[in-house]
Amino acid sequence: MDWQNKFYSIVRETEENLAKAKLKLAAKSAGLNNSVVESYSPRPAVGTASFSPGGSGFGGLPKPQFTRHQLTAPVDQLNMSAASGIQVLHMQEQIDAQNRTIDQLQKLVQSLDRERDFYKDQISRLQGEIDNLSDKMRRQMTISGSGNERQMSLIKKEVIHEIDKVKAMLSHQSRSPRIVSTQLSPQLDDELWSVKENLTESLDHIRRELRLMNKRI
């Protein structure tokens, strides 16, 4: 009969809507590996029995039966999405760490460039002092009389004063790079101090020449 078909159609549509709503709820629940959603599947019997109000249903029509279905596909997709998100975060952390290392190396290179320029300037100044001292020695050779000893003493004091100033500047600069070098790897630290040792040897050589000239005066 028509009214029976309409009834079953309404029941099926209602149960399908309920099943869809539960599927959406299961898809939004993260972390559930075995979500179970009840979907209703009515199994009507074919027949044209009449409706009896005192009976257990619609005159011989069986009650809708309920079945349970496992919904694992949406949960598996959620798990895969979560794993992909963790991988992306891990890769981002690695990239950030590499960027920080690159920044530190760039700062180190800039510091080494400044230090190299400083040592070059100091060597140039010491060489200029040697030239000035040589000129003074040549002029001293022509000096005679009672003022000879006094002028030699003044020259010695002047040279010693200049050397002391250079030593103080080098001592100040040698302390500053140590703070940076303690944060470097052992290999970079060794290379840095190797360069400093070479520069220090050059400065020591110039100082020895100054001492020899100072003794000759």
Q: What's the pLDDT tens digit per position in 131-181?
A: 777 677 667 666 554 455 666 666 666 666 666 666 665 565 555 544 444
14 and 64 in a single domain? The answer is: yes
113 and 212 in a single domain? The answer is: yes
117 and 212 in a single domain? The answer is: yes
Q: Which of 42, 71, 100 is the last residue of a domain?
A: 71
202 and 143 in a single domain? The answer is: yes
Q: Which of 7-16, 26-35, 115-124, 199-208 has the lowest mean pLDDT?
A: 26-35
Q: Which of 29-43, 74-88, 117-131 has the lowest mean pLDDT?
A: 29-43
Q: How confident is the model at residue 127 (pLDDT cuts 50, 70, 90)?
A: confident
As given in the structure block, the two tokens for residue 185 are: 């790897």
- pLDDT digits 0-9 by tens, 53-99: 444 444 444 554 544 444 454 555 656 666 677 777 877 888 888 88
Quick check: is 81 in a domain? Answer: no
Q: Which of 16, 50, 71 is the last residue of a domain?
A: 71
- Measured CA to CA, the distance from residue 178 to residue 131 in angstroms comes to 33
145 and 193 in a single domain? The answer is: yes
Q: How confident is the model at residue 20 (pLDDT cuts 50, 70, 90)?
A: confident
123 and 66 in a single domain? The answer is: no
Quick check: is 12 in a domain? Answer: yes
As given in the structure block, the two tokens for residue 17 are: 């809507």
Question: What would the mean pLDDT of 43-48 be, rounded to a whole number?
Answer: 44
Average of per-residue pLDDT values in the chain: 62
Give the DSSP letter of residue 64.
Answer: P
Residue 124 belongs to domain spanning:
108-216
Quick check: is 99 in a domain? Answer: no
Count: domains in the chain: 2
114 and 212 in a single domain? The answer is: yes
Judge contact between 129 and 162, C-beta under 8 A: yes
- Measured CA to CA, the distance from residue 34 to residue 37 in angstroms comes to 10
Quick check: is 94 in a domain? Answer: no
Tokens 């011989």 belong to residue: 60
Tokens 């629940």 belong to residue: 29
Regarding predicted confidence, which is higher, 49 or 63? 63
113 and 14 in a single domain? The answer is: no
Q: What is the pLDDT of residue 125?
A: 78
Q: What is the pLDDT of residue 111?
A: 82
48 and 118 in a single domain? The answer is: no
SS3 216: helix
53 and 139 in a single domain? The answer is: no
60 and 137 in a single domain? The answer is: no
What are residue 65's phi and psi, to 5 degrees? -100, 145
Quick check: is 201 in a domain? Answer: yes
Tokens 């400065």 belong to residue: 203
Quick check: is 92 in a domain? Answer: no
Question: What would the mean pLDDT of 89-111 be, rounded to a whole number?
Answer: 83
pLDDT at 106 over 70: yes
Quick check: is 48 in a domain? Answer: yes
Question: What would the mean pLDDT of 19-42 be, rounded to a whole number?
Answer: 54
- Measured CA to CA, the distance from residue 143 to residue 152 in angstroms comes to 10
59 and 149 in a single domain? The answer is: no
Q: How confident is the model at residue 195 (pLDDT cuts 50, 70, 90)?
A: low
Quick check: is 31 in a domain? Answer: yes
- Measured CA to CA, the distance from residue 157 to residue 133 in angstroms comes to 12
Q: What is the pLDDT of residue 78?
A: 59
Q: What is the pLDDT of residue 77?
A: 61
- Cβ atoms within 10 Å of 4's Cβ, excluding its own: 15
Q: What is the pLDDT of residue 132?
A: 75
